[in-house]
Amino acid sequence: MPVISDPAQFNEDDLYVDLRAALELPLFLKCEGFNFAGSIKLKAANEMVAAAERDGLLRPGSVLVESSSGNLGVALSVIAASRGYRFLCVTDSRCNLPTIRLMEALGSQVHVIDEPDVHGGYLGARLSYVRALCASDDRYVWLDQYHNHGNWRAHYRTTAPAIARRFPHLDVLFVGAGTTGTLMGCARFFWQWRRRVRIVAVDSVGSVSFGQAPGPRLIPGLGASVPPALLDESYVDELVRVEESDAVHVCRRLAARGFLFGGSTGTVVSGASQWLARYGRRDLTAVAIAPDLGERYLDTVYREGWPEDALEAERPAEMARLA
């Protein structure tokens, strides 16, 4: 039983759900939501803050600022609160309300961007805001998860070795792509590991990360409206793209079996299920990464009528942008 004095010291790294019972799927789901930030992003936040402190970028009086769809913001809120930094999270209107409340409860300030940029993306608008802020006052320190190598290194050092220890005969790993920190850290580790593991990236339909056309997306965390700078496709063996409606369907099937996961877990499991069905062999050792749990998605993924009603509500703004 661990005893801790700093919230970042605890992270459950060895919990897997065998999805054969719940979904008749030969897949082990690595659960990353059991820590004080409730998501996999605690690892990236830890690594990036430690590096910034080591490099002398973060000093007493610094104000951390970051663009986040929510989970990194919560993780940085936890770390900022425990180390005495101020933190401003720049997010957008797709961020869940409970996530915003959570950051505020941890003492952070949250700025919500509710207008996409001229290309129709929220991420571009968030990044412009952060850049302007940093130019205005040099106390702001932007870790920049989209370019920070600590983002993927965290998974190279922790997530991937934990999977390799537990599954020495791993054949295939499914990883959702947001900033691609998790994907690149795991891909680089397994590239060098003594056994070749097939790395399958899972992306949302409507995300531009792998060169596809942009489209409406509502599940935060996974997918991007700006190509991810950390992505090196030469490490990725295959790509599976998932409709958000399929991701929601998988989340609700898992919930019906008592497993309440976040929206991006539905995307990754749906992608893995498509891939495994195509591959047709049931004797592979397959693992997928579940970035967070479902409580933050009760008003979205787990609400009857979502995402159809939310997409309907977005349509006038979309039409105005295209006009």
**What is the binding site for ligand PLP (CB under 6 A)?**
39, 41, 69, 71-72, 176-183, 221-222, 262, 264, 291-292
| Amino acid of residue 150 | G
Nearer to ligand PLP, 162 or 284 (CB): 162
Least distance CB 196 / ligand PLP (angstroms): 22
Nearer to ligand PLP, 62 or 99 (CB): 99
Nearer to ligand PLP, 106 or 183 (CB): 183
Nearer to ligand PLP, 41 or 217 (CB): 41
Least distance CB 179 / ligand PLP (angstroms): 3
Least distance CB 125 / ligand PLP (angstroms): 17
Least distance CB 159 / ligand PLP (angstroms): 9
d(CA 308, CA 293): 22
Least distance CB 56 / ligand PLP (angstroms): 26
Nearer to ligand PLP, 183 or 208 (CB): 183
Least distance CB 177 / ligand PLP (angstroms): 5
d(CA 232, CA 124): 21
Least distance CB 272 / ligand PLP (angstroms): 14
| Nearest in space to 199 (alpha carbons), one of 168, 236, 226, 231 | 236
Residue 275 in tokens: 């891939």
Angle between helical axes of 263-279 and 244-255 (0-180°, round to 10): 100
Nearer to ligand PLP, 121 or 221 (CB): 221
| Nearest in space to 289 (alpha carbons), one of 195, 189, 209, 212 | 189
Least distance CB 174 / ligand PLP (angstroms): 12
Angle between helical axes of 71-83 and 97-105 (0-180°, round to 10): 10
Nearer to ligand PLP, 211 or 316 (CB): 211
Nearer to ligand PLP, 23 or 72 (CB): 72
Nearer to ligand PLP, 161 or 318 (CB): 161
- Residue number closest to ligand PLP, CB atom: 221
